[in-house]
C-alpha cells in the first residue's frame, strides 16, 4: 500500500497512485533482445524510392511499449526533410509493430534480393493495415503491411533498417527504403 502525507487531497493521492501503477506497468515486459539495440535510437530515412509512403530525410525512433508488448514507430518532423509523414505515420507513436524473431539479422542485399525463404529467417518488425496514402479510388485509403528488417550492424556499430511495404491490392511495392542510425 502506498502512503501519502496527510496534506495531499484524496484526488491528488488517487492521481499519484495511478501514475505509480502506470509507471510500473509500462515496464511490465522486456523487449526481445534481438530488437533491443534498435530501441531509442533515432533513424533517418536515407533513401526511399517510395517517397510518398516513407519520405527521405524523415526521422523515426522505435520505442518498446511493455504494456502492449509491441514496438511503436515514433516519427518526428524535421525542417530538412523533403516530404512529410502522412496518415498513420503522421501521428507519432501510433503505429505498433510486432516483433518477428528470426535466426539472424539480414543484410541490405538479402532484402534487395527479395528471396522469401531467406527473409523468413531474419529478425523483423511487422504491422498490418497501416494507412500511408490515399488509394486511387476517391475517398479510399490504401492499407499496407509494413515490414521493417533489422539489418546487421555496420563496422561503425550503427544500426540500420530496410523497410518493405506490402499491399493486398498490389502485392509488394517495387521500392526500397533504407534508414540509418542518426
Domain ranges, ordered by start, for the chain: 1-26, 31-181
Instruction: Give the model confidence (pLDDT) of 16-70 as tens digits.
Output: 333 333 333 344 578 999 999 999 999 988 877 666 677 788 889 999 999 999 9
Phi, psi (5° rounding) for residue 84? -110, 155
pTM: 0.74
- What is the C-alpha separation between 127 and 158, in angstroms, rounded? 24
Average pLDDT, the chain: 76
In this predicted structure, the answer to whether residue 150 has a pLDDT above a threshold of 50 is yes
Residue written as grid cell 493495415? 129
> Could you count the other beta carbons within 10 Å of the beta carbon of residue 65?
16
Beta bridge partners of 97: 71
In this predicted structure, the answer to whether residue 74 has a pLDDT above a threshold of 80 is yes
Instruction: Give the model confidence (pLDDT) of 157-166 as tens digits.
Output: 889 999 888 7
Indicate the SS3 state at residue 111. helix
Amino acid at each position: 500500500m502506498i502512503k501519502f502525507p496527510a496534506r495531499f487531497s484524496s484526488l491528488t493521492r488517487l492521481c499519484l497512485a495511478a501514475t505509480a501503477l502506470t509507471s510500473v506497468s509500462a515496464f511490465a515486459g522486456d523487449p526481445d533482445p534481438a530488437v533491443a539495440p534498435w530501441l531509442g535510437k533515432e533513424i533517418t530515412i536515407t533513401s526511399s524510392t517510395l517517397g510518398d509512403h516513407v519520405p527521405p530525410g524523415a526521422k523515426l525512433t522505435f520505442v518498446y511499449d511493455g504494456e502492449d508488448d509491441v514496438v511503436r514507430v515514433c516519427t518526428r518532423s524535421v525542417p530538412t526533410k523533403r516530404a512529410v509523414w502522412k496518415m498513420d505515420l503522421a501521428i507519432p507513436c501510433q503505429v505498433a509493430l510486432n516483433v518477428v524473431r528470426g535466426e539472424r539479422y539480414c543484410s541490405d542485399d538479402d532484402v534487395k534480393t527479395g528471396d522469401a525463404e531467406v527473409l523468413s529467417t531474419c529478425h523483423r518488425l511487422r504491422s498490418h493495415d497501416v494507412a500511408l496514402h490515399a488509394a486511387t479510388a476517391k475517398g479510399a485509403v490504401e492499407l499496407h503491411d509494413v515490414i521493417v528488417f533489422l539489418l546487421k550492424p555496420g563496422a561503425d556499430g550503427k544500426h540500420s533498417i530496410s523497410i518493405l511495404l506490402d499491399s493486398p491490392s498490389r502485392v509488394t511495392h517495387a521500392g526500397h527504403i533504407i534508414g540509418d542510425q542518426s
